Amino acid sequence: MVNCTLYFWNPSIILFLVLLAISHGTPAQGLFRKVLFLGNSYTYINNMPLLVATLANAAGDSIQFEINTPGGYTLGWEPIDHATDPASLGLIAGNDWDFVVLQEQSQIPSISALRDSCMFPGATTLYDATKASDPCTQVLFFLTWGRRFGGMQRFTPNYCSVDFTDYNHMQDSLTVSYKMVADSLESPIAPVGEAWRLVINQHGMVLHDGDNSHPNIKGSYLAACVFYSSIYGKPVTGNPFTAGILPDTALILQEAADSIVFGYTSFWNVGIGRPEAAFYTSVNADTIFTHNQSLNAERDRRGGQQQYFSFFSVLFSLPTIVFSLYTK
């Protein structure tokens, strides 16, 4: 005869078994992100968002993305601006994005008058539209790169920059402007231009196209690497996708992206405003309580009340009930 003896264990042990069963029953999965890119040719040249998607796929992650990147577009210079563009505003409101990427026209951040009158107000309008649509969406600023040889930047005859001596001089100006607006809106930065600076200065690699402004494929690939690391919070180094670039060169670009993104996380506001799950449990008699202390996330739609479940419901929902079998 076979007898079954059921042992009623301490609720804390049962909770451990539940979590263990869940963890073993769910295979490891990659991360899925929804990303909207708003910018101009600096974003769409070489289909940079698709490079990000391909890097993600090669790493076992996935992405759903949309782009609105008309040539020469700005964040706030009307009428060629995303802040008043119905297409951009419609895209923001049309999905529950994880990130909305904002890329300003390449010269405006280096011209203080336009930075203050166009970039900052435009970025604020787009930030407000994003948060109104979904408070959990993060605005991610695309810190672009300087002209290959610097020089005076003339957006219109009435608006020009100082005469930058070289790439580094112009990059300093761009980085300061993006940092100012990102800090004011408590938003993270994808530091593409600073990754470019590292590669240019340490390796002498040419990342610009023939116009000394737009990126060649190496420049776009480096930008994609920075975005992968920024969006997924994981290193891109070792990713097998190289976009046709020689593997040794691709590795240099990957390592540069990770060095800049993860070497200065607080400076780039990494993780700021990001929802963080935080739960703890307590036991009272036959009931296990879970307490939600998550940050930057919506409360329970039923009123944010404390959730609980019966010890016995946990016990009998276990895939396998612990028991002993013995034969007499």
Indicate the average pLDDT of the chain. 84
Structure letter (DSSP) for residue 320: S
Which candidate, 142, 151, 25, 7, places its Cα nearest to that of 74? 142
Strand partners, 279: 292
Which candidate, 222, 191, 226, 227, places its Cα nearest to that of 208? 222
Which segments of 165-306 are extended strands (E)?
Answer: 189-190, 279-284, 287-292
b/e 222-258 (16+ beta carbons within 10 angstroms → b): bbbbbbbbbbbebbbbebebbbebeeeebebbbbbbb
State how far the Cα of 135 lies from the Cα of 141, in Å rounded to an integer. 17
Q: Supply the DSSP string of 8-65, one letter for each residue.
A: ---HHHHHHHHHHHHHHHS-----EEEEEEE--HHHHGGGHHHHHHHHHHHTT-EEEE
**Cα dihedral sign, 140-104-44-128:** positive
Quote the pLDDT of residue 291. Answer: 55
Q: Delineate the domains of the chain, giving CATH numbers in brackets.
A: 2-27+276-327 (no CATH), 32-263 (3.40.50.1110)
pLDDT band at 280 (very low <50, low <70, confident <90, very high): low
Quote the pLDDT of residue 29. Answer: 78
Quote the pLDDT of residue 294. Answer: 53
The C-alpha angle with vertex 233 and arms to 51 and 64, in degrees rounded to 5, equals 45
Sequence-distant (6+) residues with CB within 8 A of 305 are none
pLDDT band at 300 (very low <50, low <70, confident <90, very high): very low
- What would the mean pLDDT of 153-164 be, rounded to a whole number? 94
Cβ neighbours, 10 Å, residue 51: 21
Q: What is the pLDDT of residues 22-59, one digit of tens each?
A: 445 445 579 999 999 999 999 999 999 999 999 999 99
- What is the helix (H) or strand (E) element at residue 98, kind and residue range? none
Strand 323-327 versus strand 2-6 pairing type? antiparallel
Q: What is the pLDDT of residues 100-143, one digit of tens each?
A: 999 999 999 999 999 999 999 999 999 999 999 999 999 999 99
Q: What is the pLDDT of residues 215-267, one digit of tens each?
A: 999 999 999 999 999 999 999 999 999 999 999 999 999 999 999 999 999 99
Sequence-distant (6+) residues with CB within 8 A of 120 are 76, 180, 181, 184
